[in-house]
Amino acid sequence: MKEKFLSWLNLILVFDVFLVLFGFGWLAIAVIGKASGVPLGLDLWYKLWQPVFNPAIGILMGGAIVSGIINWISRKFQSS
């Protein structure tokens, strides 16, 4: 069961990484567009920050910590 849980957790984290990278790329392009006077969705990005990108970053960090702890505990018990 642990292996199945870790497999699903890693799959979710992979999708989450791409969501976070997409959000960062969008932010970078939108800021460059704002600086040059071209509207590229910075206002929409700000509206999506709180409900989408902020939780995605939190899930990514929390999931990475949980995955690391589970792997550390597994290695600790297997070596004993």
Q: What does the pLDDT look like over 27-36, one tens digit per residue?
A: 999 999 999 9
Predicted confidence (pLDDT) at residue 79 exceeds the cutoff of 80:
no
Domain that holds residue 63: 1-79
Q: How far apart are CA 7 and CA 63, in angstroms?
A: 12
- Number of domains within the chain: 1
What would the pLDDT profile of 15-56 be if each residue is shown by its tens digit? 999 999 999 999 999 999 999 999 999 999 999 999 999 999
Q: How far is CA 55 from CA 15, 32, 62, 63, in A?
A: 13, 24, 10, 12
Which pLDDT belongs to residue 40?
Answer: 95
pTM above 0.75, yes or no: yes
Tell me the pLDDT band of 78, cut-offs 50, 70 and 90. Answer: confident
